[in-house]
Structure 1
Amino acid sequence: MSREKLIRVFGPGVAEAVTQPVDPPLLTTREGWDLAASRRLAPLKRADWAPKGTEVGPRDPRLMYHAEMLPVVTPALWRGLLDARRQLRKNRFRSIGRATDMIIDGDRGTGKTTLLVQIGRGFQGLIESDLGSDPNRIPVIYVTVPPERESNLHWSLPLAEFLGLNHTLNPDDRNRRTADMTEAVAHVMRQAKTRLVLIDGINRIQDNEIAAAFSYFEALQDRTNVTFIFCGTGAREIVHEARYDKRRKNLPDVVKGKTYFSDLPMLWAGVIPYGNDWHSVVQGFEEDLCLYDHKPGTLLKLSKYLHQRTGGYIASLSDLICQAAQEAIETATENEPEAITKRLLDDIRIGRGDSR
């Protein structure tokens, strides 16, 4: 399956492609999510570049583009999108029992949220392509774990915020008291044909909150028939504990003592070892650069150096290349080419033990 089909291509029902917005969209709102989901994931056309030598302003399109660039197909992204597509295709037309949820786990900086968002974008594109455009349909909800998680009220609020529901009991109340929005959320999700809920930052749930949180998810799932995808470092253990460990004494003997870590599909995001996969990722970044003087193959020749600098973490690699590309655009002169060089990369500071 090609990169185009996995990441970039959407059906005719999806909103017209847009360029990078002036302000990054807030994914936890419906408007922000739809804007991100409809954005064309492709490098800027050369015809849209400012002429070489033009003074670069703070909102130059190429500066904005290189702040994030495009999702490069790492092994985790490739496999995760493929597995999710198969699972969601199956879940979509099942009516008996709960849909099979999924888990995205891995170390920090390995691309978990990127995978989560791309799964959501792809599913929304599939629905729009199949059923056509409908302003009342909300196929995907993206939320992060709320700062307070003691009750159903707290869990209902990020969902209500995404759906644009007013959850304030009395707007004039100085304390801005809020109501448990579960009933309203479930009703809107059913009416809007929501089928996928993305929960990011699941690692923020504390041990004593796990049982209540997942009881809430299961109750909501029973009423809406949605699929949940739980994303965060340690998500596997968190979900497994919620489903079994606290209730193991009540399980049938045939189930007790099982050693599997999860009975749900696991989508792993890991460090990329040095080798062909790493070279492919570096090449992906290089192909998406929009720099006047960058010579193809330059980054690929620095592949080992880039791995040493980043430890194989995709987030660190993206941070390094994006900063270097922006710096190359801003500092280019007649004597200084607009290109990423090792000298420029050496001057960029990133994390992961990069102490120079």
Structure 2
Amino acid sequence: MPDHNGSTHFPAEERPTTFDWRELPANEPAPPAQLTRHRLATMPAAEREAHDAARRAHHKQLVLSAPVVRHAVTRGRGMLAANRRLRPSERPFLEITGPAGTGKTVASLELERAVWRADLARNPVRGPDNRITVLSIAVPPAADLYAVVRTLAYATFPPEFVRDDEPLEVLAGPPLHVLNQAGVSMVVIDQAEHLAPSAAAAHAALHWLVDRLPTATFVYVTRAPAEQTASGPATTSSGRRLPSRVAAVPLTYGPDWQQLLATADSQLRLLDHTPGTLASLDRQLHQATGGLVGVLGPALRAAAADAVGTTEHVGWEALEHALLDS
């Protein structure tokens, strides 16, 4: 692969940010208790403020139980287990594909979370600081191989240790060494549609990366399937790789949409919220969001978090306001 010619600056605001899964508790924390107004009022002030803060944090992290989330977690974990028994050249990759707002990124994050916690449960003795179970990077627009490797370097090392003027092999060496030493099991490439669609170059870039991380199962999050863009490697230098696809689509009005709202309603921790409120707004919410969980989710999280200590309920007015602000 050709080296990068010349030096380009990677501005701080464009550097990728990744979630450090090592900070995640080994077990899913229990949601805050559902208290009555009387119980909350009788708490000491500090305890009451801590409970309100926990409720806001809980609401800000609500994940809508959309089919794409469940399917991605199930398929991804199953593929990871199966790939451990396959040679690197035989391992398929997972592709989460669909239009904007359909929940692709949320699905990939929940898959990452599930893989990390499963690894932590399976290897409790291994120190969390020594493991990189999952790595996720977002591809910058019109990316070539150098841009992808540079993103990988910034996701693996502090910025001061990364130089943007190094030849490709020099830039790639440290992050690939660290990831291989850590036995990274999953690499998630978000916004894979940004890969330069001069297909040969983009596929070659991904083949190059996949072949150098033989322990990893790759997940591509993209707006279009691999056969329509250069987002996924159909083959590598060592063999054939085929995709396992999870399609994210807007939800039609029906059982899946209603179940999603019922589940979300049950997760709210508000003093005056009437159970079933979201279900009673199912048609209005579907019309307002077009069935896009990527539109509903942020609005619901914002409305629920804002309701803590104020209205203590979420209704149409709050959701409509949050939708307009999103």
The CA distance in 2 between the partners of 1:218 and 1:37, in whole Å, is: 34
Structure 2 alignment gaps of length 5 or more:
1-14, 236-240
Residue identity (%): 25
Match of 1:280 in 2: 259
Question: CA contact under 8 A between 2:154 and 2:162: conserved in structure 1?
Answer: no
Match in the other structure for 2:6:
none
Residue 201 of structure 1 corresponds to: 191
For residue 85 of structure 1, report the CA deviation from its aligned partner: 1.8
Alignment of 1:233 onto 2:223: yes
Q: 1:103-252 residue pairs with structure 2 within 5 A?
A: 103-132=95-124, 133-134=126-127, 135-147=129-141, 149-152=143-146, 154-164=147-157, 167-169=161-163, 177-180=165-168, 181-208=171-198, 210-225=199-214, 226-236=216-226, 237-239=228-230, 243=234
> 1-side partners of 2:256 and 2:197: how far apart?
36
SS in 1 for 2:188: strand
Q: Distance in 2 between matches of 1:205 and 1:27?
A: 15
- Residues 41 and 70, structure 1, Cα contact 8 Å, conserved in 2: no
Distance 2:242 2:90 in 1: 14
The answer to which of 211-220 and 138-147 deviates more is: 211-220
Tell me which residue corresponds to 2:238: none
Q: Which runs of 5+ in 1 are unaligned?
A: 1-25, 170-175, 245-261, 333-337
How big is the shift at 1:242?
A: 5.8
Query: Does the CA-based 8 Å contact 2:193-2:230 persist in structure 1?
Result: no
- Tell me how large the CA RMSD over aligned residues is: 3.3
Quote the offset at 1:234 in angstroms: 1.4
Query: CA-to-partner distance for each residue in 1:89-121, whole Å, 9 max, x for gaps?
Result: 101232352421111101111110111111122
Highest RCO, 1 vs 2 (Cα 8 Å, sep ≥ 6):
2
Secondary structure at the aligned position of 1:108 is classed as coil
Q: Is the 8 A contact 2:142 2:195 kept in 1?
A: no
Show CA shifts across 1:38-86 (max 9, x none).
5835432347x993598989x93333332x3322221111222222222
- Counterparts of 1:223 and 1:346, CA distance in 2: 48
User: Could you tell me how far 1:291 is from its partner in structure 2?
Assistant: 0.4
Residue 329 of structure 1 corresponds to which residue in structure 2?
308
TM-score (norm 1): 0.72
| DSSP-derived class of the 1:230 partner | strand
Counterpart Cα distance in 2 of 1:98 and 1:232: 22
Letter in 1 for 2:53: D
Aligned length: 294
Of residues 23, 27, 46, the one that matches 1:35 is 23
Q: Which amino acid aligns with 1:34?
A: R
Q: Which deviates further from its counterpart, 158-167 or 283-292?
A: 158-167
Decide whether aligned partners of structure 1 residues 39 and 269 sit closer, same or farther in structure 2, where only a CA change above 3 A counts: farther
What TM-score, normalized to structure 2? 0.78
Would the alpha carbon gap of residues 27 and 119 (structure 1) be closer, same or farther in structure 2, given more than 3 Å must change? farther
